[in-house]
Structure formats: C-alpha cells, structure tokens
C-alpha cells in the first residue's frame, strides 16, 4: 500500500517538474493544489486540464490512459489516505485490523484504480530502463 502511494507521489512529482521545474519540495502536493486551483474538485475537469497542460510532455502513454489519468488527477484519492493509515496506524485489536484490511481490499478491487496504477508502474518501469 505504501509503495502505491510512493508511485503516485513519483508520477505527480514528475508532472509538476515538467510544468514547473523550479519547484523543489512537496511536488505531489503542488500537483494536487495546481489541479484544484485550475479545475476544482471534479475529476474529469482535472483530467482535461492536466491533459491540456501536459500535451507537449513525454508522458503520452499516461495521458492517453483514462485509468492512469484518473489516479493521477482525482481529487479524493483512495490510495493516499489508506497508505497514510497503514503507515501511521497500528491495529490494536481484531476490529481495527479488519478495518485496515477492508480499506486495502477496496483499492485492490477497484478495476479503474488497479488499471491506472498498472499503467503508471509500466511507464515508470520503462522510463527507468531507458536511462
């Protein structure tokens, strides 16, 4: 779960660096704030804005993946808070453990998020080997 958040932070950070090379810290936060300021909280508006802004970027495969763009641009990510919960919470009883497992199951069972994360990981893997 935490690795999924790391992947999400990485790609959002790369998008930020492409558009605003001078940003040095909190790159994924900068990306999310930029989308909110320009396109609000409606995911499709955020995706449209991002695709327009990133049109000349080397991220064509991701820009053409509806699933990847949904994960990269969504205003209410299920990956981020669930990863935070896993990273900063210790289950003290069976009920809390079941709750954590249920949250993890929601993410893994969402076909759109699963496809989006798969596309992002594929892109990052190819990018890693091409350098």
Q: What are phi and psi of 69, to 5 degrees?
A: -65, -35
| Domain range enclosing 107 | 2-129
Q: From CA 63, how far away is CA 11, in angstroms rounded?
A: 12
Is pLDDT above 60 for 16? Answer: yes
Question: Which carries the bigger pLDDT value, residue 15 or residue 103?
Answer: 15
Q: What is the pLDDT of residues 32-47, one digit of tens each?
A: 999 999 999 999 999 9
Number of domains the chain contains: 1
Is pLDDT above 70 for 95? Answer: no
Q: What are phi and psi of 77, to 5 degrees?
A: -70, 130
Q: From CA 84, how far away is CA 11, in angstroms rounded?
A: 18
């Amino acid at each position: 779960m935490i690795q999924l958040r790391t992947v999400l932070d990485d790609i959002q950070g790369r998008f930020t660096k492409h558009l605003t090379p001078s940003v040095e810290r909190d790159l994924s936060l900068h990306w999310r704030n930029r989308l909110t300021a320009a396109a609000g909280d409606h995911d499709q508006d955020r995706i449209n804005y991002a695709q327009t802004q990133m049109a000349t970027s080397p991220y064509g495969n991701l820009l053409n993946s509806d699933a990847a763009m949904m994960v990269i641009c969504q205003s209410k990510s299920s990956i981020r808070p669930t990863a935070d919960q896993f990273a900063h919470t210790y289950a003290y009883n069976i009920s809390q453990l079941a709750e954590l497992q249920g949250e993890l199951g929601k993410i893994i069972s969402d076909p759109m998020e699963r496809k989006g994360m798969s596309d992002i990981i594929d892109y990052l893997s190819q990018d890693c080997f091409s350098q």
